[in-house]
Amino acid sequence: MLKRFAVFIVLFFSVSSLFAHQFLIHIFSLKTVHAATVNMSRGSYSLYHDSTLLTTFQQGETLKFEVEGSKMRVHFKGTSKLLSHFKLKGEDYLNNFKIGVAGEARTYEDNLVCRMEVKTILLLNDVELEHYIAGVVESEAGLRAAPEYFKLQAILCRTYALKNIERHSLEGYNLCDNVHCQAYYSKSSKIPDILKATTATNGLIITDERFDLINATFHSNCGGETCNSEDVWLTPLPYLRAVKDTFCVKSRNARWKKKMSKEQWHKYLRSIDVPAELDTTVDGEEVYFSPDGRQASFYFPGKAVKTTKIRTDLKLKSAYFKVQMVNDSVFIQGRGYGHGVGLCQEGAMQMAKEGYAYNQIIQYYFTGVFIVNLNALEFFKEE
C-alpha cells in the first residue's frame, strides 16, 4: 500500500515569467576532440570571436574546425581563421545544430561555445534549462515509459541540475554530459511525450522542508528496498530514507547472480584483511552472508566490511546481496542495480503504468519533500 506522507504542496506560478536559466554543458566529454564539423540544422547562427561578428550561417550551412598548434583552424565560407575560442549563437526562436566528432553525430539546441585547451578542443552546449532537461530525460529515462514517469524524471533532472549548477565551475562550465553528472547525448526528438512532460512540469523542482533543493538521486532498480543515504555516502539526509518497494521486484534488473570459486572468494577475504583462520570457517561453518534485507555491512567475528566496498571490489550490480557456499563454489545472489538511494526508476515506471501521479511517486521514494515552482522558490529565498 502506498504510504501516506506529510503535507504535499505544489505552488503554481505563471511559467511565462520563469527566470531564464542558461547552462554550459560539456558535450563529448569522454572524447579527446581534435576536429569537428557543425551543420546548422534549424534556424540561423552568428559566429563570434569575443564580441566580434565573423560571419552568419543559415540553415544547412556548415562550419569545420580542427586543432592547429595551440589554437583551432576554423573554416567557414571559403576562408579560415586561427582562433583560441569562438561562439556559435542561435538567432531565431528555435535553433538546432548537428555536430560530428570522430564518427559520432549529435544534435543539440541553442548555442555552441568552443575553446582550445591543451591539445584538445572543449565543446560546450550553451543551452536553455528546459531544452537541456528534455534532452537529459530522453538520455536517462529511455523511450518506453508512461507519460507520468517522464514528468517525474523531468522534475528530478531539473532539481539535480540546479542543485549541482557549480559542479564543474573550476573548469569553466556547469555540468558534463555523462553519468558523472547527468547523461545528455542530444536534444529530445524521438518521443513527443518527453517534450510534453517537460513542458507540463516547466520550472517544477523538489525541496526539503526548509525549501532547499534536495539531492534528487535515482538508480535503476532497488531490488525491493531502497537504502538510507548514509549507508552509501556517509551523510544522513532526512528525505533519503529507506523504503520498501514492491513495484520493481518483477522488473528486468531486480535480480542477478555472480559465481566464483571458493579459492577466489577466500583470496578476496584475505585482500580485505579477514583473518586467515576465518577464510574457510567461522565456528566450524563456511563463511556466508544471508541477510533478511539490505545491510550496510558484511559482519565477520571482530570485523565489519561495508557492502558498498564489496560491490565495488567485485564489480557487483548492487550492494544488496547474499553469499552462499555450494560445494566448491560461491554464489553471490543479488537484488537491484545501482546504489539504491532515492528513486528506483523501474519501480517508478511500474507505478506510472499503474496510474499513480508523478507527485505520488516522488513522495513514495523521497520522505517529507515538496514540489515547488522555481519562481516560488526564488520568491521565498528573497523573502
Mean pLDDT by 10 residues, the chain (383 residues): 35 36 95 97 97 97 97 97 98 97 96 96 97 94 86 96 94 94 92 92 94 94 96 94 96 95 88 67 61 85 87 96 88 95 97 97 97 79 58
Nearest 10 degrees: Cα torsion 250, 254, 255, 256: 140
Q: From the centroid of its chain, how far is CA 18?
A: 24
3-state SS string for 83-150: ECEEEEEECCCCCEEEEEECCEEEEEECEEEEEEECCEEEEEEEEEHHHHHHHHHHHHHCCCCCHHHH
Q: From the centroid of its chain, how far is CA 140?
A: 7
pLDDT at 38: 98
Contact (Cβ atoms closer than 8 angstroms) between residue 366 and residue 206: yes
pLDDT at 375: 79
Q: Within 13 Å of residue 166, how many CA atoms lie on the same side as its CB?
A: 1
Contacts of 206 (CB under 8 A, 6+ apart): 155, 156, 159, 213, 214, 216, 362, 366, 369, 370, 371, 372
Pairing of strands 111-117, 321-326: unpaired
pLDDT at 380: 63
Stated pTM of the model: 0.86
pLDDT at 262: 87
Pairing of strands 104-109, 96-101: antiparallel
pLDDT at 379: 66
H helix and E strand count, the chain: 9, 25
pLDDT at 2: 45
